[in-house]
Each structure stands twice: as C-alpha cells, then as structure tokens.
C-alpha cells in the first residue's frame, strides 16, 4: 500500500539543503519562513533544489513572491486576510475558531498546534483533543508542536495525515522514525 503520510519541515535558513540531500521520503515538504532577510534569488535556488528532489516547497506568508514557482503558501494563524491565488494554501490554527477561519481561507491542510507541551508552550491540545477537533471538520490536519522522539509514538494514534516540526532537522531520529513507522502501518 502506498504511504501518503506527509512530513513538513520548517526551514529558517538555506543551509538546510545539505541535510535534505539524503532523504528519500516522497511526501516531504519544506516551509520556508525566513521572512526577514529573504532574497528572491535564494528562494528560487531552494525552490529549484526542492523540485529536483521532488520536495514540495511552501513559502511562509509573503504575497510579494507568491507568483514564483513555489508549491504554495503557508498562512500562519494570525493572518486573517483572504488570499486569492491558484497555489495550494496550508495554514496553522490553535483552536476551534481559528480552524473554522482557515477553512474559510480555503486551506487544504491545517496544522493544529501545539499538540504537546514544550519549553515555549505550556498549554497543549494533546492527542484526545486533537482527534475530537479533527473529527468535527472535513479537512486534513497535520500535528505540530512539542513533538520529539520520546512522544512520537503518540502522534501515530492521532487522526492526522502528517507531522510538522520546526526542530525536526535538528533531531533526525524523529524524521527517520516517522517515515519508518508510517510505512509499516500502511
């Protein structure tokens, strides 16, 4: 059976390319979010690299560069505008109200976070609340927030279609375990 479990990695810098070279997971996507010092030449270079490796490349909310050759746009939870584009839209939400708004923004995938507590987030949804929230909407959800190697098995009992991580590149064990377990479960 084909593995359709998606893995999203947030990238802040272009230096992560070297770590991506050996990944052979076909449902890998990059969300590039260095919106401070972004240069179109660098974005196009990373976009072309991702295309050559069959990695989807999403640009963190930046309408200025949206017409270029990116897979789509990532809309964070605090963006309340409606964005009109033919590109794929994915977005993040933290509660029922934000999920509803992301659906109105026509996001194909919604990153629901935080799932687990971490140093930054003391308040988390947990798997049970995640599953209850995802059951109420006809949209695909991705788990995000506080995911590490020790709690990764809990993620796989969620009703998510994928996993996203900001620090997944730092702990490659999470990435490897994600792709291995989901391949075995399909």
Residue 6 and residue 29 in contact, taking contact as beta carbons nearer than 8 Å: yes
* 175 vs 113 pLDDT, higher one: 113
Give the CA angle between residues 29, 97, 86 to the nearest 5°: 40
Strand pairing report for 56-60 and 6-11: unpaired
126-175 residue pLDDT tens? 888 888 888 888 899 999 888 877 788 888 888 889 888 876 656 555 65
Beta-carbon count within 10 A of 150 CB:
9
Pseudo-torsion of CA 40, 42, 48, 54, nearest 10°?
A: -110
Query: Cα 128 to the chain's mean position, in Å?
Result: 20
Per-residue pLDDT at 121: 67
Delimit the domains of the chain by residue range: 6-185
Phi first, then psi: what are they for 72, rounded to 5°? 175, -165
Query: Cα 104 to the chain's mean position, in Å?
Result: 19
pTM for the full model? 0.82
Kindly indicate the confidence band of residue 50, based on its pLDDT and cuts at 50, 70 and 90: confident
Distance CA 33, CA 35 (A): 5
Radius of gyration (C-alpha) of the chain in whole angstroms: 16
Does the structural domain 6-185 have CATH classification 3.20.20.70?
yes
The predicted model gives 99-126 an average pLDDT of: 86
Phi first, then psi: what are they for 154, rounded to 5°? -65, -30
Segment among 1-10, 57-66, 104-113 with least mean pLDDT: 1-10
């Amino acid at each position: 059976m084909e593995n359709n479990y998606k893995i999203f990695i947030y990238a802040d810098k272009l230096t992560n390319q070297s770590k991506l070279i050996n990944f052979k997971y076909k449902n890998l996507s990059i969300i590039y979010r260095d919106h401070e010092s972004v240069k179109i030449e660098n974005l196009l270079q990373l976009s072309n690299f991702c295309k050559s490796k069959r990695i989807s490349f999403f640009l963190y909310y930046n309408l200025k560069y949206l017409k270029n050759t990116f897979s789509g746009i990532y809309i964070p939870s605090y963006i309340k505008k409606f964005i009109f584009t033919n590109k794929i839209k994915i977005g993040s939400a933290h509660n029922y109200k934000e999920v509803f708004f992301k659906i109105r923004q026509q996001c194909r995938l919604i990153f629901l976070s935080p799932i687990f507590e971490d140093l930054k987030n003391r308040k988390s949804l947990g798997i049970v609340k995640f599953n209850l929230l995802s059951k109420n909407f006809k949209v695909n959800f991705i788990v995000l927030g506080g995911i590490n190697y020790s709690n990764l098995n809990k993620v796989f009992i969620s009703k998510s279609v994928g996993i996203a991580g900001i620090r997944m590149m730092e702990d490659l064990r999470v990435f490897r375990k994600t792709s291995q377990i989901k391949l075995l479960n399909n």
